[in-house]
A = this chain, B = another copy of it.
Amino acid sequence: MRYYRVPNEAVRRLPVYLRGLFTLSEDGHESTSSKKLADLIGVTSWQIRKDFSYFGDFGTRGVGYNIKKLIKEINKILKLDTGHKAALVGVGNLGSAVLSYPGFKMYGFELATAFDADPDKIGKTINNITIEDTCKIKELKKRKVVIGIIAVPRHAAQETADALVSAGVKAILNFSPCYLTVPKKVKIITIDIAMDLARLPYYMRAS
């Protein structure tokens, strides 16, 4: 199937649809309507149908979508079907939360390794992952790690990004609340919980 350029906002929603489809599948469903999926994840069925239209139409009128087929198709579009290795840098509170997070496998990710600069942390094992010295980031290339997760303090974020880029990572998930400069070929997504919080009051009712 030939895919057209999918808007960023649709790419943002596809993993949300995936999670909803996983939930429906776990609950024993084999097919779903766009309405059922929409109600579960809290979007409109119109939005779902529109997003799916960018890469063809999987549904059959009156029958709905085959869940397994749809999961496979979305995984292919998001390039999650091949599996990806990720490395975490920074094992403070947030990094520890990332290490303990059970949800990566669902999307085909393997958290392969973690780094920290603190000698007290290096050598310790969390969730079967042994923390290594940050000076070893450069060895990532040999290990086929393509994604870096940055959870270091703000002042160390840019040098961490530079080290990850030098080690060949192609994409970065950044939890440091600052702008990082990376080459254009590297995709970076910054997560700032304050920014997510900042969207809430807009929707609050005056009561």
Q: Please give me the 9 A-B residue pairs with the lowest Cβ-Cβ distance, nearest first.
A: A187-B203, A103-B194, A15-B198, A94-B97, A93-B97, A171-B200, A79-B201, A15-B195, A93-B96
Could you tell me which residues of chain A, from 51 to 81, have a CB within 8 Å of some CB in chain B?
Answer: 77-80
Which of A16-24, A113-121, A130-138, A158-166 binds B?
A16-24
How big is chain A's contact interface, by range? Answer: 35 or more
Chain A residues packing against B (C-beta within 8 Å): 6, 9, 11-12, 14-16, 18-20, 23, 40-42, 77-80, 82, 84, 86, 92-94, 96-98, 100-104, 106-107, 109, 146-147, 149, 170-173, 177, 179, 185, 187-189, 191-205, 207
Whether A109 pairs with B194 at a CB distance below 8 angstroms is yes
The docked-state distance in angstroms from the alpha carbon of A77 to that of B198 is 11
When distances are taken between beta carbons in the complex, the residues of chain B under 8 Å from A192 are 15, 19, 103
